[in-house]
Amino acid sequence: MTSTLIQISYLAAAFLFIFGLKRMSSPKTARSGIIWAGAGMVVATVVTFLYPQILEAGIGRIALIAFGVALGTVVAWKWGKSVAMTDMPQMVAIYNGMGGGAAGTIAAIELIKMSKGTGGHHDGITVALAVIGGLIGAVSLTGSVVAWAKLDGRLNKAPRIPGGHWTNFVVLGIAVISGLMVMFSDHPSGLLLATFFGSALLFGVMMTLPIGGADMPVIISLYNALTGLAVSFEGYVLQNPAMIIAGMVVGAAGTLLTLLMAKAMNRSIANVMFSGMGTGDAEGGDGIEGEMKEIGAEDAAISMAYGEKVIIVPGYGMAVAQAQHKLWEFVQLLQNRGIEVAFAIHPVAGRMPGHMNVLLAEAGVPYDIIYDLEDINEEFGTASAAIVIGANDVVNPAARTNKSSPIYGMPILNADQAEQVYVIKRGQGTGFSGIQNELFFGENTRMVYGDAQKVCAAFIAGVKSVS
C-alpha cells in the first residue's frame, strides 16, 4: 500500500513539474508555472518520508532530515525575497551548483557503500550511472561557483592556467580514467574515489575560469542542463522516479536553451567554452573612424517627444542602475503624446536568459510591447529613434560588417538603422566582452553619459518641458 502511494505521488509530482514548466513558457503564466512546479517539489519531498528506509531509520534521523529541509527552506525563502534583480543571475548560478553538488554527493555515498561492500547489490549499469552522474554533478558544482564569482564581480580577472586548455584536458583525462577504474572495481579504494571526485571538482573550476564574462549566460544554461542530467542519473541509482523525470526535464530544457542561446550568438558551444571572449583578451574595434558625439539627456528627450516611433533596447546597464521604473515612466509620457514605443529584447541580453523581460515586468511594462529580436528587427528602419540603455554587443554593427571581429555573424538588433540613436552609458569604455562598439561612432548616434536612472529622470523632465 505504501509503495503504491509513493509511486502515485511521484507520478503526480512529475505531472506538476512538466505542467509548471509549460506554464513558464509564457510571461503571462510564468508565475503560476513556478507555483505549480513548486507544489510538485513539495509533494516529492514529503512523500520521501514514507520510504521504509526512512521510517526505519529512527526518530533521530528523521528529525535531522526534517531540520535540514526546514533550514534550507527558510534560508532560500529569505534570500529569494531579499535578492536584488541585478543579483538574480548569481543566485541562479549558485543554486544550480547546489543541485549539481547534491547529485555528486549521492554518487559519492553510493560509491563509498560499494567500496565497503554495503548498501545492497550494485549492478554494472547502476555503478556506471553513479560514476557519470558524480562526474557531471561535481563539474557543475565547481563550475557554477566560478560562474557565480565572475557574475558577482569577485573574480574579475581570472588567473591564467599554465598550459591552457591542454592542462584542462589532462585533468579531465584523470577524472575519466579514475572513473572507469571505479566502474570496473568491485571495491574501489578511498584513494581512487578521492582522485575521481577531486579531479572532477578541479576540472569544473579550470574549465570555467578561462570563459569570458560575456559568455556566462550560456555557461549557466549549460551547467543547468548538466545538473539536470546528473540528477536524473542519480535518480536511477536510487530508483527514484521523481528524480529521473525532473532531472530529464531540466536537462532537456537546459540543453535546448543552451543551443538556442549559442545560435543567437552564431557560435558553437565549443567556441563559447574555448574562445575566451570577455576575458579582456578579445580584439576588435581598434582603429574605428569617427568619434563619439555627446548630447544632453533633456535635449535628447525633447527630440524624441516630436517623433513617431521609439524602440528601446535594454541591457545589463539598466539592471545595474535599476532604471526600469523611471524608464517606464518616460515611456508612458511618450505614449501619452501619441508616440509608438516598443522594447526590443535580444536572446542573450543581460546576465541570464529572460533577465530583461523580468526587469521590465517588475516595472509594470505590458507584455504586448516587448518583442523578441526576430519580431522587431525590421521595425528599426521605420523608427524615429532607438534608445540603447546599457546594452553593448547585441547592437554592435561589427557583427554584420567586420569579419575580423570576434562577434562577426552574431545576429544583432538593428538599432543603427533608426533615424537617430541615443546610447545611455556611464563612460566610453567597452562592454562586458571587451569589444569596442562601432555603433557608438555612427553618424546618427549620440551618447548620453551618466547613470541610467538619472538619465531617464532627465528624459522625463525633458518631455514634460514640451507638454
Which positions are catalytic? 393
Non-local CB neighbours of 167 within 8 Å, separated by 6+ positions: 161, 206
CA distance 448 to 454: 11
3-state DSSP assignment of residue 432 = coil
Question: Which of 385, 213, 208 is CA-nearest to residue 311?
Answer: 385
Whether the CB-CB separation of 386 and 421 falls below 8 Å is answered with yes
Cα gap 444→152, rounded to integer Å: 35
Reduced to 3 DSSP states, what percent helix, strand and coil does the chain have, rounded to the nearest 5?
65, 5, 30
Q: What is the Cα–Cα distance from 450 to 426, expressed in whole angstroms?
A: 5
Cell numbers given for 43: 509533494
158 closest CA partner among 198, 217, 205: 205
- Cα–Cα distance between 346 and 386 in angstroms, integer? 14
Whether residue 137 contacts residue 230, with contact meaning beta carbons closer than 8 Å, is answered with yes
Q: Fill in the amino acid letter for 145.
A: V
Cell output for 217: 549566460
Q: Residues 44, 247: contact at Cβ < 8 Å?
A: no
Classify 272 as helix, strand or coil: helix
Cα distance between residue 33 and residue 203, in whole Å: 35
Whether residue 133 contacts residue 109, with contact meaning beta carbons closer than 8 Å, is answered with no
**Strand-strand pairing, 445-449 and 420-425:** parallel
In 10 A of CB 462, how many CB atoms?
21
C-alpha cell at 330: 518616460
**Measuring CA to CA, which residue among 213, 209, 221 is closest to residue 168?**
209
DSSP collapsed to 3 states, 387-399:
EEECCCHHHCCHH
